Chains A and B, each alone.
Chain A
Amino acid sequence: MKLPSFVQHTFDHEIPGRARIRYVFGSGLFFAMALQVLTGIVMAFYYVPSAREAYASVYSIQYEVTWGWLVRGLHHFGASAVVVLAGLHLLQVFLSGAYRKPREMSWITGVLMLGLIMGFALTGYLLPWDQKGYFATQVATNIAGGVPVVGEATQTLIQGGTEYGTATLTRFYALHVFALPLGLLVLIVPHLIYFFRHGVTAPGKDLVSGRSIKFWPVQAFYDLVFITVILGVLLTLAVFVGAPLDAPADPSSSYVARPEWYFLFLFQILKYFEGPMMLLGTVIIPGLAATYLVILPWLDRSKENTLKARWKTVAPMAFGLVALAALTLVAMSEDANNKSYQAQLAVQAEEAKVAKKYARNGFTAYGTIEALEGRKLFRTHCTSCHEAEGEGTPECIDGKCPSDFGLCDSQEQCYRAPVLDHLGSRKWFLDQIERPDHPTKFGTILDKAGNAIFKGEMPSYADPDDESNFMQPTVRAGVVEYLIQGTGRRYDPPIDTALAKKGEEDFGECAYCHEPTEGRTGPLLIDVVPGSRPQVMRLAGYGSDAFLRSVLNDPGHERLYGELNVMPSFSHLHYTQQDALIAYLRTLCTDCVDP
C-alpha cells in the first residue's frame, strides 16, 4: 500500500537518539484541535447564529439532538484541552530551547496560533448566548472599547454595532468557524513544514549518540497513548460533568460573570489597576508578554542548551508563568472565599435550572422561553400583592404589614391578594370552596379604606356547623370536577366526566352567584348574569387562558370583580408579555399535564 507522501514523511521522519515522552505534546495538541474541528462541524448542523435562536438551538443540541450533549461536551472540554496542551507544548519547546535558530518560523507561527486559540476561546464563549457567555464577553469587548483613540471604533466593529445583538453573534460565529480556522490552517502548514525540516530538538546526549530512529512505530506509540489518554479524559468529563448551559442571556439581570478558568489571570489583573491605569492590565502587560514571546528567538541567540546558560530568557519566562499561576490561584481563592459570590452562583444555577425546565415546552418564535419571561414579569409586576412559588409575601413587622398594606395572619405573613400557587388545579378550586376567606385567598383583600372586601361575602361550604351551606366532601369534589372543565386544560388524573356531571347538578346552588360554563360551542369567555347581589364573578371559563387575559386587562369589568375590584389593569403590557405571564401562571397548576 502506498501512503500519501506527507503521511509517509510523517511516519519516516527521523528522531535523533530515541523516542521520548516529552515529544508527545505537539501531536496531542494537533489531535485536540482536530477534535474541535469535527465536533464543531457537527454542531454547526444545528447551531443558529441569531440573538433570537442561538440559545434555543444550543438548548436543542444539549437536550434534544441524539448525543448532542456528548458532542457539545467534547467540544466544551476540548477547548480547555487545546489551551492546556498549547501551554504544555509551548513550555516543552521553550525548555528544550527549540525556539532558536533555525526553528524561528516554527516558534513564531506557534505563538501566533496560540493567539488564535485564545480568539477561538473568546468567540466560542459567546455563541450559546447564555448568561455566562453574554456577560463574560461583555467584559472582553468593553476592554477593547477602553483602548484610547481606536477603542470605541474597535468595539463597535467587533460588536457589529454599539450594543450586543445578532450582528455580534454573526460576527463571532464567522470568526469562530471561518476566519480563525482559516488563520490556523495558514499558520499550521509552515509550522509543520519547518518542523519536519528541522525535526525535534533532542537533548544534547541524544545528539551526541549519533543514532536516530524513525517516528514509526515507537514515537507514534507514545503519541497514540497520549492521545488516548486525552480522549479518555475528555470523554469522562463530557459524560460525567457535561457542558454547562446557563439561563438565556438577559441584559437586565444581575449576573456575575467569570471568564473560563484559563482567562482568570487576565480577569484578576483587572482588579489591580485603577482608572486610566486599567490600560496597563488590559493591553500593555499582555501586549508586552506576547511581544516577548514573538521576539524570543532573537533575544536568545546562545548556542548553549542548558537552562543555566539561558537564564536571561528563562527568568522572564519563569516569572511570567509564576505570575500567571499565582493570578489564577488568587482569582480562584478570592471567589471561593467570597460568600456573596458563592450565594450568587447558587442563585444563577437555580435560574439556569428553572430556565431549562420551562424550555422543555419549547421556545417562542422570538426565541424566548415563555414561562421564564412570565416568571420575571410576575416577580416585577405582581409580587407586590400576589405570591407564587414563595415569592411575594413579606414578613410582618410588629404584627403589621410593611407599608400598612395587607393583613397579617397568625404565621406573621403579610397577605394582600390571593396566593396564586396551584392556580387552575383541583386544589385551587377546592380551597376556594372550603375557605374563601383564608388569608391566602380573598380574605385579606382590602379596599382603600382598609376594610376587607370579600370577607364573608362567600361562605365556606366545608363548615359542618353551617347547615344551610355545608356540602359533603364528595359533593365538593364533584363541583370541583365540574369547574375544572372550564379551564380548558388537561389533568392528571383526567377529568372524571361522571363526577363532573354530578357536580354540575350540585353547582346549581352556586349558580345563584356564579353562572356555569357554557358548552364548548364558542370560546370560553367570561360572562356575568346580573344577580340580586353586587356583581359577582361568573365561573364560565374560570382559570382558562382567556379568563387570565381578561383579569390582566380589565379586572374591574362587570363580568369579573366589578365594583369590588382593587387590582390594577395590566393592559399596558405588550400582548407577548401577557402571553408570557399566562404561560407562567399555567405552570402553577399542579395537576395539569398541558404546560
Chain B
Amino acid sequence: MNRRSFLVWANGVLGGIVGLVVAVPLLGPLLDPVLRKQGSGERPRVDVGPVDQFKPGTVTQTMLVTSKMDGPIKMPPRPDLGVFVIRDTAKTITVDAEGRSPNLKVLSRECPHLGCNVDYDKANGFLCPCHNSRFATEFEKAGTKQEIRAGATNPSPRRLDSLDARIEDGRLVIEVVHFRPGRPQAEPRA
C-alpha cells in the first residue's frame, strides 16, 4: 500500500467514523416516539354521571373527559373521546356482579373506517360524515354495519367499536380506548 492509497483508505475510515458518530445520536430523538413506551399503559375510566340520565329506548351522545400528559405537560381535563350510550326499552336497568348491564351499550364515535366522528340523528341513524359509513341503531344490532342499499356505499371494515362500561354506585363509568381504524378487527391503539 503506497502512501496515497493509505491516505485514501484512512480518509474513508475517518469520514465513516465522523459520519456515524454524528448520525447515530441524531437518530435517538428522531425515532424517540417509537423507541419509548408511550403513555402509562393504564386506560382511564371516566364517570359520565348517574346512569338514570340515559332514558329507556334512547341513544345519547356524550364525551369522555380525561387528563393526559402532552409531552412533559400534565393537561387539565379535556375531551378525549366521543361516545354513544344506547339503552334498550326495558324500564329498569339490571346490573351483574361486575357492574355490567345488558340494558346498556356504549359505542365509540370514532369511525372504524378512517377515524372521523360518527354522527347520530333519528332520521339517518349512525352515519359517518366523511365517507358515508352507516351503522345500525336498533339496540339489538347497535353499531353493526348496515346493509348497503342500492346505490349507497359503506366502506367501514368493521362495526362501531364498543367500550367497556360498568355501573358503580348508580353511576356509569366507561373505559377510554381508542381503536385503530382500517383494520377488520378492533385493535386498541397501544
Contact = CB atoms under 8 A, between A and B. Distances in A.
B29 interface: yes
Contacts of A221: 7, 10-11, 14
A521 B28 contact: no
Contacts of A216: 8, 11
A359 B72 CA distance: 9
A66 B75 contact: no
Given A217-B4, A224-B14, A228-B14, A70 B72 contact: no
Contacts of B25: 39, 67, 70-71, 74
B49 interface: no
Interface stretch (B30-38, B55-63, B119-127): B30-38
Contact of B75 (A65, A224, A365, A521): A365
A220 B30 CA distance: 31
Interface string A24-51: 0000000100010011001101100000
A68 interface: yes
Interface in B20-51: 21-22, 25-32, 35-36
Contact of B7 (A60, A217, A228, A231): A217
Interface residues of A, number: 41
Contacts of B31: 66
A56 B26 contact: no
Contact of A56 (B10, B14, B18, B71): B71
Query: Which of B17, B22, B36 counts the most chain A CB atoms within 10 A?
Result: B22
A221 B8 CA distance: 8
A57 B72 CA distance: 7
A218 B69 CA distance: 54
Contact of A70 (B10, B17, B28, B69): B28
* Interface of chain B, main secondary structure: helix
B73 A367 contact: yes
Interface string B1-19: 0001001101100110110
Given A217-B4, A221-B7, A225-B14, A362 B26 contact: no
A162 interface: no
Contacts of A74: 25
A64 interface: yes
B188 interface: no
A42 B22 CA distance: 12
A554 interface: no
A235 interface: yes
A361 B74 CA distance: 9
A61 interface: yes
Nearest to B32: A66
A227 interface: yes
A364 interface: yes
A59 B27 CA distance: 19
A362 B72 contact: yes
Nearest to B4: A217
B79 interface: no
A231 B32 contact: no
A56 B73 CA distance: 7
Nearest to B7: A217
Given A45-B29, A217-B4, A38 B73 contact: no
B169 interface: yes
A405 B36 CA distance: 54
A239 B31 CA distance: 20
A217 B22 CA distance: 22
Interface residues on B, range: 20 to 34
B16 to A, nearest CB: 10
Contacts of A570: none
Query: Which of B4, B11, B14, B25 counts the most chain A CB atoms within 10 A?
Result: B25
B4 to A, nearest CB: 6
Contacts of B102: none
A231 B36 CA distance: 27
Nearest to B13: A224
A53 interface: yes
A330 B26 CA distance: 38
A220 B11 contact: yes
Contacts of A225: 14
A64 B7 contact: no
B8 A227 contact: no
A358 interface: no
A365 B26 contact: no
A266 B40 CA distance: 49
A363 B18 contact: no
A500 B144 CA distance: 49
Query: Which of B21, B30, B72, B169 counts the most chain A CB atoms within 10 A?
Result: B72
Contacts of B32: 65-66, 68
A352 B71 CA distance: 21
A39 B21 contact: no
Query: Which of A59, A66, A70, A227 counts the most chain B CB atoms within 10 A?
Result: A66
A362 B30 contact: no
B151 interface: no
B29 A61 contact: yes
B72 A56 contact: yes
Interface string A210-233: 000000111011001101100100
A42 B26 contact: yes
A255 B16 CA distance: 45
Given A224-B11, A225-B14, A66 B28 contact: yes
B69 A362 contact: yes
Contacts of A359: 72
A365 B14 contact: no
B28 A365 contact: no
A231 B23 CA distance: 12
Contacts of B4: 217
Nearest to B75: A365
Contacts of A228: 14, 17-18
6 contacts: A42-B30, A66-B29, A68-B32, A217-B11, A228-B17, A363-B73
Interface of A: 31, 35, 38-39, 42-43, 45-46, 53, 56-57, 59-61, 64-68, 70-71, 74, 216-218, 220-221, 224-225, 227-228, 231, 235, 359, 361-365, 367, 521
Given A68-B28, A217-B8, 14 more contacts: A38-B26, A46-B29, A46-B71, A57-B71, A60-B72, A61-B29, A66-B28, A217-B4, A221-B11, A227-B14, A227-B18, A235-B21, A359-B72, A363-B72
Interface of B: 4, 7-8, 10-11, 14-15, 17-18, 21-22, 25-32, 35-36, 69, 71-76, 169
